[in-house]
Structure 1
Amino acid sequence: MKHTLTALVLLMALTACGQDSGNKDMAGKSAEATSSSDAQTETGQAQQERGDQAFASLADKMIRQLWELFPSWAVREGYYAVADQLAVPDEQQRQRVLDFAREYKQQFADIDPTTLGPGERSDLAMVNTFLDRLIWEITEFKSYAWNPANYNVSHAFSLILNTDYAPLDERLRTFSQRLQKVPAYYEAARQSLDKPAAPQLELAIQQNKGALSVFGETLDEKIAASSLSAEEKQLLQERAAKAREAIEGYIAHLQEMKTDLEKTQDFRNFRIGEELYEEKFGYDIQIGMTAQELYQRALAEKDRLHEKMAELADRLWPKYFPDREAPEDRLEKIHAVLEKLSGQHATKETFKAEVEKQIPELVAFVKEKDLLTLDEDKPLVVRTTPPYMRGFSVASINAPGPYDKGANTYYNVMPIEEFSDEEAESFLREYNTYLMQILNIHEAIPGHYTQLVYANKSPSLIKSILANGAMIEGWAVYTERMMLEAGYGDFSPELWMMYYKWNLRTVINTILDYEIQVKGIDKERAMDLLVNQGFQQQAEAQGKWRRATLSQVQLTSYFAGYADILALREEMKEQLGEDFDLKEFHEKFLSYGNAPVPVIRELMLAELEGAGQG
């Protein structure tokens, strides 16, 4: 089943032209027409204002109830009014979520989209998609029964402990209150699980072991530094001990399940199949095409990128292999050049420091080229990925939500200091001097960090919190190409060669995800795709295989969003001609928050249409 957003209606201004004529009857009719048109315009504006107000009131009510249902999500968005609460993921909670989604579906159905302004219409479409997805997740996808990695209390607790949104004593009291529900939380998790999938089971064990760190030494230090009474401190420590016990019990339960299932090889298949995949793709990506259509597009793009890389390999070959004839096989030739370039990299001891060092350089380039306005008052902290978040990606961004815009954004970097020399060399050859630059553009400036700062400034709370992954990942991928087009790296063929390798990764992400989840390919075929056709190092390919078995659809978001954004930029160039300004395009695009790219396109075109008629 294909899900699409409600079609957005462009604004059409009502105008009337008076005719300069000596005929008094015609002049009178023209005046009457103008008066009638003005009255219709005023009536339409009043109707839209009423519609917008009704929608805003209902949306505000829904969001307040949303945070009561999902207090951990609320904390991640910077909404701390419910931080002392922890939802217990049992059958009663799932029923409450279903009732919530169905009730608001009915209430929003009473709002006529034609009475809304374009921004509110797109918000309404996003709300309906979100509510439909909630219902689908519980009634059809049912990951609560087979994905034990869904259950982990640590992230919100860590934010409460380490974000200075309130005095330490107040945050510790909130922390203590929330701790009371942790044993019930993990008991509900155990009861909810039926037959887990093996990769998700492994991840749950790993990340919940990491979760124990949130309730250990750092918490003890915070308690010691506080002004809580002796009784409050003792109570908090007792509750933390019970929380650790509950987490350890959950880990032991998962380990026992793993042992039993390994004997029978009766794990749930982590591959979700074509029907569920297409449905999830429709909800999560929202680009106006099916997953199969995007997959076919990615196959064609892979061949195009191979051609581009072969051309660059021909240019670079004499420089790096002056005494060696280039092989006829283009993939072999590309691989040889990439391997040569990959030898330039940091050490495992300096990798994180090199990441930090480059951030100011990216800021300076964006300013020099006037690509978009950066808000340097928003803190960006490069840190080692916390233990409870490891096992999924090499690097990631944790940004504050719209309710706490001034809080730190964390750039998480995988710790590699303890890798063996062989593992570290494979990792560092993948994230070499060239690719590290692309990685930092993607994750930080002007990629995820910059985009999420803009999202928090969006006037639409809906567009900020109901984030579309394809837009977010697509923007980060788009900025990689945009920066190089603007001259970052002085058009170095080496950097462009590595950029194409990185861009090829986004394309292969789509192919890999679809082929694993829908076509059922095995690890051998996946590794061939990643290593031989994507030129990835073994360590990276192994990690990507694991990631593709842990998630579904998410890996397609990079290529889907990037292709849509690039197409939109070209469309706006054609529309505006000489009036097109790259910085204005970027800032206007980002001003709409985390909305799907098709929604942003319609809003930009509506604004352009309105400006033209004005």
Structure 2
Amino acid sequence: MTADNRAPHTPLEQLAARYFAATFEQYPIIATSLGIHDYDDRLGDFSATALQNYAAQVKGMQAELAQIDPAALPITERSDYQLLAANMEDTLLDIEQIKEWQRSPQLYADVAVFSIFLLVSREYAPLATRLRGVLARLQQVPGLLALGKQQVQNPPAIFTETAIEGGGGAVSFFRQAVPMFASQLGEQDATLKADVVAAAEQAAAAMEEYVIWLNDDLSQRSDGDFALRGLYQRKLQLQHMIEQTPAQIAAWGRELFTNTLAQMRDLAEEIDPNKSWDEIIADTRRDHPTADGLLLAYRGETERLLAFLNHHQLVTIPPGELEIVETPTFQRATYPYAGYAQPGAFDAVQTGQFWVTPVNPNSSAAEQEQQLEEHAWAWIPIIALHEGYPGHHLQLLRANQASTYIRKHLGFSSLFVEGWALYCEQMMGEVGYYTDRRVKLSQLRGQLWRAARVMIDVGLQMGAMSIDEAIRLLSDQVKFSPESARGEVRRYTMTPGQPMSYLLGKDAILRLRDEAQSRWGQSFSLQRFHDRLLSSGSIPMKLVREEFWAAAEGG
């Protein structure tokens, strides 16, 4: 039985329900990620024919959606209409024009691994139940990877490089992590245990062959262009519901980069007039936890954050646990520092995972020290509040409580999600959570990084900036290590529009806060503002703002 047992009742929701059903048939991993477990035994058919058939279904439903007049809908349902319309068009853009299924070898590896990871990492059902889904999916992994070999044509070199680098982690996931989970089964499930271990080995072998093919074959013909170019602005409109041109966004990012750099220089002068900001940052980098103490450091910081939030009543804290764990091996190439994995919107157990990327024990001593420096004590408060409380974990738990049928399925706007987390970095300094000027300098350095992301996102996707130029911008001006800068830029090439979303979203939240302070006067409080802001779920700020003031007018 599906976890989503609320029947859609409006014509819009009934149409959306058919769209979601078709989407889950095509992409079962999406259903699993949402906490809908009717599709847990499938990987999906990524063949060109299946994708074309799905696209035809979507076009038919687009025509039906056009028969509904959004102006006649109440504001919440009108927002849902806009979410659904944008998602349908974005889906068609991806399948028919961007064609990730044809240009991304990483797509097939990601589906293979994440489809299994979601089943073992979330305790939504007894282990034996989950492992039956794992077994079914494992048995389909060789076929999925074989399909990838057939369909991927002339990808960008950096896409192939990323798939190769992540391949070792994927193999170890199948060969080590999956059998470890299966070993927890009791004797009554001995047959299931043996079947899972055998299927995991077959999946590992298939992944090894896939990586060999990537190295020996595909890498020799990976000359494609990752830049979206003419499709980029439409992608931004559909993802973020913004109308600025890429050129306008890049110019804004450059201006903010310059302004942030000036603030950092002024603050560095206060801290130590004999040192530049990057020299002070270099000093702070050398003060960090040990490799063995990384998780403990982040767990301790999270406890302090929760105590502060409760004492100062800055925002309502929803129920749900946060596990602070090592970043999965297959994700470390693209998450070199930290990350967050949210619970599904429909999962009964609302437990999120705060990923901390450990030091690579196979690296040289100098490289290990360089990795540890990315977890300096002066940076840990900023990273912890961004990923956990009051950042991603708190906000996404609140979003999972969103009341509408449609936005529980579609509500993930990186503009809002990342904008909120970046806003929290500044806001928690404003209210006194951190007072050390070195932590403030770290917060500003994070803002400088996100301003660089705006410029890099536009530059890469419009073909105006090379990968090497983007790496140099991060390493020379934001002072990233070359290895970390390359990991960042690698991810940016594969996620157009996402890198810019942090700063664009934060700016929109700050402007809305200023407006609320002006209109509410003495009745303004951060808790009132934050609770109302978070009540719409993870939808684009354009829609959040409309709902925010509609709610305010109603009290």
Report the TM-score, using the length of structure 2 for normalisation: 0.92
> What is the CA-CA distance between 1:276 and the residue it aligns to?
2.3
Q: Which residue of 2 aligns with 1:252?
A: 212
The verdict on how the C-alpha distance between 1:531 and 1:218 changes in structure 2, with shifts beyond 3 A counting, is: closer
Q: How does 1:452-531 map to 2 (within 5 A)?
A: 452-466=396-410, 467-490=412-435, 492-523=436-467, 525-531=469-475
Do 2:13 and 2:405's aligned partners in 1 also have CA atoms closer than 8 Å?
no
Do 1:478 and 1:565's aligned partners in 2 also have CA atoms closer than 8 Å?
yes
> What is the CA-CA distance between 1:528 and the residue it aligns to?
4.1
Q: Select between 356-365 and 178-187 the one with higher mean Cα deviation.
A: 178-187
CA distance in 2, matches of 1:370, 1:90: 51
Give 2:531's match in structure 1, choosing from 574, 580, 587: 587
> What is the CA-CA distance between 1:294 and the residue it aligns to?
1.4
Q: What's the CA shift string for 1:195-231, capped at 9, x where partnerless?
A: 1111111222233332233433443344452455665
1:137 aligns with 2:82: no
> What is the CA-CA distance between 1:368 and the residue it aligns to?
1.6
Give 1:127's match in structure 2, choosing from 59, 84, 87: 84
CA distance in 2, matches of 1:480, 1:129: 30
Q: Select between 215-224 and 558-567 the one with higher mean Cα deviation.
A: 215-224
Please give the secondary structure, in 2, of the residue aligned with 1:594: coil
Unaligned runs of 5+ in 2: 1-7
Q: Which residue of 1 aligns with 2:142?
A: 183
Give 2:225's match in structure 1, choosing from 269, 282, 288: 269
The verdict on how the C-alpha distance between 1:181 and 1:435 changes in structure 2, with shifts beyond 3 A counting, is: same
CA distance in 2, matches of 1:479, 1:208: 35
1:543 aligns with 2:487: yes
Q: Which residue of 2 aligns with 1:380?
A: 322
> What is the CA-CA distance between 1:389 and the residue it aligns to?
1.7
Q: What's the CA shift string for 1:146-177, capped at 9, x where partnerless?
A: 11111121112122234322222222222223
Q: Which residue of 1 aligns with 2:203?
A: 243
Please give the secondary structure, in 2, of the residue aligned with 1:178: helix
4+ runs deviating over 6 angstroms: none
CA distance in 2, matches of 1:223, 1:342: 40
CA distance in 1, matches of 2:177, 2:491: 30
Give 1:77's match in structure 2, choosing from 34, 38, 50: 34
1:307 aligns with 2:262: yes
1:559 aligns with 2:515: no
> What is the CA-CA distance between 1:233 and the residue it aligns to?
4.8
Unaligned runs of 5+ in 1: 1-50, 327-332
CA distance in 2, matches of 1:218, 1:531: 34
Please give the secondary structure, in 2, of the residue aligned with 1:488: coil
Provide the aligned C-alpha RMSD in A.
Answer: 2.3
The verdict on how the C-alpha distance between 1:110 and 1:346 changes in structure 2, with shifts beyond 3 A counting, is: same
The verdict on how the C-alpha distance between 1:529 and 1:245 changes in structure 2, with shifts beyond 3 A counting, is: closer
Q: What's the CA shift string for 1:357-386, capped at 9, x where partnerless?
A: 2110111111121111213x4121111111
Q: How many residues align?
A: 542
CA distance in 2, matches of 1:440, 1:361: 10
Report the TM-score, using the length of structure 1 for normalisation: 0.83
Give 1:360's match in structure 2, choosing from 278, 303, 323: 303
Q: Which residue of 1 aligns with 2:3?
A: none
Do 1:123 and 1:463's aligned partners in 2 also have CA atoms closer than 8 Å?
yes
The verdict on how the C-alpha distance between 1:88 and 1:252 changes in structure 2, with shifts beyond 3 A counting, is: farther
CA distance in 2, matches of 1:190, 1:58: 36
Please give the secondary structure, in 2, of the residue aligned with 1:110: coil
Q: How does 1:310-321 map to 2 (within 5 A)?
A: 310-318=265-273, 321=274
Please give the secondary structure, in 2, of the residue aligned with 1:595: coil
Which residue type is aligned with residue 38 of structure 2? A
CA distance in 2, matches of 1:526, 1:300: 17
1:192 aligns with 2:147: no
Identical positions, percent: 26
1:410 aligns with 2:353: yes
Do 1:401 and 1:456's aligned partners in 2 also have CA atoms closer than 8 Å?
yes
Q: What's the CA shift string for 1:523-565, capped at 9, x where partnerless?
A: 5533442234323344433333333344322211111111111
Q: Which residue of 2 aligns with 1:10?
A: none
The verdict on how the C-alpha distance between 1:486 and 1:95 changes in structure 2, with shifts beyond 3 A counting, is: same
Do 1:151 and 1:204's aligned partners in 2 also have CA atoms closer than 8 Å?
no
> What is the CA-CA distance between 1:59 and the residue it aligns to?
2.1
1:155 aligns with 2:100: no
The verdict on how the C-alpha distance between 1:445 and 1:230 changes in structure 2, with shifts beyond 3 A counting, is: closer
CA distance in 1, matches of 2:282, 2:135: 53
CA distance in 1, matches of 2:225, 2:552: 48
Q: Whose Rg is larger?
A: 1
Which residue type is aligned with residue 276 of structure 1? L
The verdict on how the C-alpha distance between 1:250 and 1:519 changes in structure 2, with shifts beyond 3 A counting, is: closer
CA distance in 1, matches of 2:376, 2:37: 40
CA distance in 1, matches of 2:507, 2:553: 24
Do 1:119 and 1:603's aligned partners in 2 also have CA atoms closer than 8 Å?
yes
